[in-house]
Amino acid sequence: MSIPRRKFDTLVIGAGGAGLRAALQLSQDEAMVAVVSKVFPTRSHTVAAQGGINASLANVTDDNWHWHMFDTVKGSDYLGDQNAIEYMCRAAPRIVYELEHIGVPFSRLDNGKIYQRAFGGQSQNFGGDQAARTCAAADRTGHAILHALYQQNIAARTHFFDEYFSVDLISDDDGYILGALVVDIASGEPLIIEAKTTLLATGGAAQIFRTSTNAHINTGDGMGMALRAGIPLQDMEFFQFHPTGIAGKGMLITEAARGEGGYLVNGNGERFMPNYAPNAKDLASRDVVSRAIAVEIREGRGCGPDKDHVLLKVDHLGADVVHKRLPGICDMTRAFLNIDPAEQAIPVFPTAHYTMGGIPTNRFGQVVVPVSSGPEDEVPGLYAAGECACVSIHGANRLGGNSLLDILVFGRASANHITGYLSEHRHHRELSESSVDKAMQRLLRWDTKGEGESVAGLRNDLKRVMEEHCGVFRTEDVLAEGLDKVIALEKRLPDVRLTDHSRQFNTARIEALELENLMDVAIATVCSALSRQESRGAHSRIDYPERNDVNWLKHSLFYKKDRQLDYKPVHVKPMTVDTFTPKERVY
Amino acid sequence: MRFSIYRYDPDADTEPYMQDYVLEDCPADMMLLDALLLLKEQDETLGFRRSCGEGVCGSDAMNINGRNGLACVTPLSSLSAPVVLRPLPGRPVIRDLVVDMEQFYKQYRAVKPWLQNSEPEPEVERLQTPVERDQIDGLYECILCGCCSTACPSFWWNPERFLGPAALLQACRFLADSRDDATEERLQTLDDAYKLFRCHSIMNCVDVCPKGLNPTSAIGRIKQMMLKKTV
């Protein structure tokens, strides 16, 4: 069977903020860019980001990039790479001004400058007073940014493959990544996109959990592709649980609700965060707030008849502030809870939200793996940016407002490096037919007919196991049992069969391919979590309650082959300033 | 709860048909998308788009009991049974509830929906007062779900020539932005018997918009700007 081929200079997989930022710059640089996305670009999950993007513009409080850097390093529980964090925090103001110039409708201060609000983990002067660093377009900042980036890409005439699903990376025998096998969802037809560079910008994977704030599409497709290409995933034990998902449903209630002055109360009507974070209170880091909520509930101080959630109050702020600054949240609570937050408190619970781990990269977006000379050899032609990547900026815990920043800064950094790479690699290399065959096998496997269990059945089991065995608090026993269960689930995967074998817009087939990715990501997560015998950031081990910098100030690397784990050192040396040495983390 | 859902797979079916489904024990606060996801567990051949599940991505627009809306923010409790689900009207059906939106996107692109400013870029943000910024509230929030344009009789009749409410709302979003200086050119392009003036203020768009936006009023604002320009 001969598969059609298209050739581009560069392939971008994923059309969220990272992919579109990179594509825009590359198109403007006159590279031939193909953007492949399994959904129409503005349906990517960046659209759901609410609160804003961090940059030390100092429009509201005194601020500078070095304070932003300190907060990010501290927020990461010292697992973030300080060279990359310095790079990001320095780049932030320029990135935000650029967004403003391309049309993002930021909210404004009376003096006409960009509105900034307080967010969790932000301080002035290295741990002093609360800073207001998060640039916002009401509480629809992700929507505003994603649409503006897409609009500019239309102007730049970027070539889009909308509703194409990426099956696997293709390469040559020397290990160069040369594009991907994709499938047109509408027609079901496969297509090889050959490219000199490939950027994975496929987003996060919180769909491995039963309840999450993530879109249905966040199935870790790029992470799965990387694992199958022999590339490890880094720091997968660190999954962020957002403190304020709507209880029992999962929709995100932005941290901006607390940034604007909201706070949490328990079943006794008591504001409890001051007991856990005397200074920052409700604006402590997300890991701290999520654990506090979990403890309140565990100790019987939850709200509601089942004492299974806490309440987020913003009703004291006045209807004007709530409706003006948090209109999206008002829409959401009206639709899903039938309440107006200006009048009534919102029931919330910590909910799986963000994948701190991912495909290991350096600060240029190049995917790096330990091969020969050291822990970080570049994979030629392969880049990753955004939530699917692990630079690592966020370390063990991401600060609110740093993910929109991450996707744009490293989307741009990747584009910068790709431009250089393209000037040095002017010709397409010959791809290996065996890598195409392997990718096709993955696709064709789902044409097998006959009796078997369903994709949905196995997926539901997987999500339940992950929720029960890999949540906010973890122990050796629970994780080990979880790993056994997930491995047992993986063994069932070959027996899954589709009943839908139509070629046309076959969403069942896409969900099957997504399930394979979810399975790989889930196993990486549990294995990494079981091995890390300490508590750091979002990874909270009851049996190892302390952070252990002597043994565990290192990144974990999980390989699909034999479920092997490896480790590599943290870059503790920044680009120009002094290292922030690990300290006890109090808010 | 009973459902009657439009089915068509061009690979297998010579013509579309309605298929009945039943879902037992639907919780009171269940959304239509949750129901569809459960129905898809029963019958994985049922095709529809979905992503965010909270009304911000615009994937799951469909015709629900005769009215366009987003499945994820439509409570089952607001619907009478059987719930009749059809693809968005007037667009070619790819399969089941999935329609080809290309013409809709083409009209969106036709209004040049990006900020144009020919001034040199300052090293910081361009200033905009809160009052100027308020001018684009009610315009920038569009999620391109297509509920409005596919509910518009003028768009059904002339999808190639009438831009439709969604694209015109976008046109207004940039006309209303104090930072955009392509006003003259934008108005000139829109001044056309079909592109803009096929809107007859039927207001189906306003009725169905899941984000509570008002394309008819945006179209009115464009007409006013044109009038101002000519006098």
Residues of B in contact with A508 (CB under 8 A): 40, 44-45
The total of other beta-carbon atoms located within 10 Å of residue A55's CB is: 30
Residue B44 CA to residue A507 CA, distance in Å, equals 8
Contact B143 A506 (CB under 8 A): no
Looking from the CA of A342 toward its CB, the CA atoms found within 13 Å total 13
Contact B59 A43 (CB under 8 A): yes
Q: Which phi and psi (to 5°) does residue A309 adopt?
A: -155, 175
Q: Where is B67: in which H helix or E strand?
A: strand B67-70
Contact in structure between A265 and A313 (CB atoms under 8 Å): yes
Residue of A nearest to B50 (CA): A216
| DSSP structure string for A158-218 | -EEEETEEEEEEEE-TT--EEEEEEEETTT--EEEEEEEEEEE-----GGGSSSBSS-TT-
Tokens 């190049």 belong to residue: A366
Helices B32-42/A455-469 angle, 10° precision: 120
Per DSSP, chain A holds a count of helices (H) and strands (E) of 16, 22
Question: Of A471, A502, A465, which Cα lies nearest the Cα of A487?
Answer: A465
Contact A101 B126 (CB under 8 A): yes
Distance separating the N- and C-terminal Cα atoms of chain B: 58
Of A110, A216, A503, the CB nearest to B51: A216
Listed by number, the residues of chain A in 288-347 with a beta carbon closer than 8 Å to a beta carbon of chain B are: 328, 331-332, 335-336
Residue B91 CA to residue B89 CA, distance in Å, equals 6
Of B100, B128, B140, the CB nearest to A112: B128
- Give the mutation candidate from B56, B77, B129, B178 for the A interface (greatest A CB count, under 10 A): B56
User: In this complex, is the C-beta atom of A264 within 8 Å of any C-beta atom belonging to chain B?
Assistant: no
* pTM score of the predicted model: 0.98
Residue A151 CA to residue B221 CA, distance in Å, equals 22
Q: Give the bridge partners for A434, in sequence order.
A: none
User: Residues A161-174, buried b or exposed e (16+ Cβ, 10 A)?
Assistant: bbbbbbbbbbbbee
Beta strands A389-390 and A359-360, pairing class? parallel
Residue B42 CA to residue A154 CA, distance in Å, equals 40
User: In this complex, is the C-beta atom of A147 within 8 Å of any C-beta atom belonging to chain B?
Assistant: yes
> Which residue type sits at A60?
V
- Secondary structure E strands in A79-154: 116-123, 130-135
Helices A507-531/A455-469 angle, 10° precision: 20
Per DSSP, chain B holds a count of helices (H) and strands (E) of 8, 7
Q: HEC string of A537-564? A: CCEEECCCCCCCHHHHCEEEEECCHHHC
- The pLDDT, as a whole number, for residue A242 is 97
User: In this complex, is the C-beta atom of A576 within 8 Å of any C-beta atom belonging to chain B?
Assistant: no
Reading chain B (231 residues) residue by residue, the pLDDT tens digits are 999 999 999 999 999 999 999 999 899 889 999 999 999 999 999 999 999 999 999 999 999 999 999 999 999 999 999 999 999 999 999 999 999 999 999 999 999 999 999 999 999 999 999 999 999 999 999 999 999 999 999 999 999 999 999 999 999 999 999 999 999 999 999 999 999 999 999 999 999 999 999 999 999 999 999 999 887
Of B11, B53, B117, the CB nearest to A502: B11
Q: Which two tokens stand for residue A223?
A: 């992470």
Q: Say whether B98 sits in a helix, a strand or coil.
A: strand
Residue B215 CA to residue B148 CA, distance in Å, equals 8
Alpha carbon distances (Å) from B35 to A322, A363, B2, B17, B65 = 31, 44, 10, 20, 15
Q: What's the gap in Å between the CA of B74 and the closest CA on chain A?
A: 8
Cβ-Cβ pairs closer than 8 A, A with B, add up to 157
User: In this complex, is the C-beta atom of A148 within 8 Å of any C-beta atom belonging to chain B?
Assistant: yes
- The pLDDT, as a whole number, for residue A38 is 98
Contact in structure between A558 and A564 (CB atoms under 8 Å): yes
Contact B141 A154 (CB under 8 A): no
Beta strands A565-569 and A554-558, pairing class? antiparallel
Contact B49 A39 (CB under 8 A): yes
User: In this complex, is the C-beta atom of B136 within 8 Å of any C-beta atom belonging to chain A?
Assistant: yes
Contact in structure between B46 and B40 (CB atoms under 8 Å): yes
The string of pLDDT tens digits covering residues A455-486 is 999 999 999 999 999 999 999 999 999 999 99
Residue A58 CA to residue A61 CA, distance in Å, equals 5
Q: What is the ipTM of this complex?
A: 0.98
Contact A502 B45 (CB under 8 A): yes
> Which residue type sits at A478?
V
Q: Give the bridge partners for A190, in sequence order.
A: A183
Q: What's the gap in Å between the CA of A166 and the closest CA on chain B?
A: 17
Residue B191 CA to residue B197 CA, distance in Å, equals 8
Residues of A in contact with B211 (CB under 8 A): 331
> Which residue type sits at A108?
R
Of A102, A215, A500, the CB nearest to B57: A215
The residues, ordered by sequence, that sit 6+ positions from A328 with a Cβ below 8 Å of its Cβ are A50, A138, A139, A140, A254, B56
Q: Which two tokens stand for residue A67?
A: 């304070």
Q: What's the gap in Å between the CA of B20 and the closest CA on chain A?
A: 18
Q: Say whether A453 sits in a helix, a strand or coil.
A: strand
- The pLDDT, as a whole number, for residue B47 is 98
Residue A116 CA to residue A134 CA, distance in Å, equals 5
pLDDT along chain A (587 residues), means of 10: 93 98 97 98 97 98 98 98 98 98 98 97 97 98 98 97 98 96 98 98 98 97 98 98 95 95 97 97 96 96 96 96 94 94 96 98 97 86 98 97 98 98 96 95 96 97 97 96 98 97 97 98 98 98 97 97 96 98 95
Residue of A nearest to B105 (CA): A40
By annotation, the residues of A acting in catalysis are 286
- The pLDDT, as a whole number, for residue A1 is 63
Of B114, B123, B130, the CB nearest to A110: B130
Residue of A nearest to B130 (CA): A108
Alpha carbon distances (Å) from A298 to A170, A266, A288, A466, A479 = 48, 12, 15, 19, 19
Listed by number, the residues of chain A in 42-61 with a beta carbon closer than 8 Å to a beta carbon of chain B are: 42-45, 47-48, 57
Residue B26 CA to residue B68 CA, distance in Å, equals 22
Listed by number, the residues of chain B in 139-198 with a beta carbon closer than 8 Å to a beta carbon of chain A are: 140-141, 143-144, 174, 177, 179-180
Contact A42 B58 (CB under 8 A): yes
Residue B47 CA to residue A504 CA, distance in Å, equals 10
Contact B125 A217 (CB under 8 A): no
Distance separating the N- and C-terminal Cα atoms of chain A: 61
Contact in structure between B55 and A336 (CB atoms under 8 Å): no
Contact A101 B40 (CB under 8 A): no
Q: Which two tokens stand for residue A434?
A: 């065996």
Question: Of A220, A192, A227, which Cα lies nearest the Cα of A11?
Answer: A192
Q: What's the gap in Å between the CA of B195 and the closest CA on chain A?
A: 20
Residue A504 CA to residue A475 CA, distance in Å, equals 46
- The pLDDT, as a whole number, for residue A219 is 98
Residue A505 CA to residue A231 CA, distance in Å, equals 31
Residue A397 CA to residue A449 CA, distance in Å, equals 44
Alpha carbon distances (Å) from A253 to A20, A33, A270 = 25, 36, 20
Residues of B in contact with A108 (CB under 8 A): 128-130, 132-133
Of A216, A251, A502, the CB nearest to B9: A502
Q: Where is A90: in which H helix or E strand?
A: helix A82-101
- The pLDDT, as a whole number, for residue A175 is 94
Residue A312 CA to residue A304 CA, distance in Å, equals 13
Contact in structure between A499 and A448 (CB atoms under 8 Å): no
> Which residue type sits at B184?
E
User: In this complex, is the C-beta atom of B54 within 8 Å of any C-beta atom belonging to chain A?
Assistant: yes
Q: What's the gap in Å between the CA of A471 and the closest CA on chain B?
A: 22
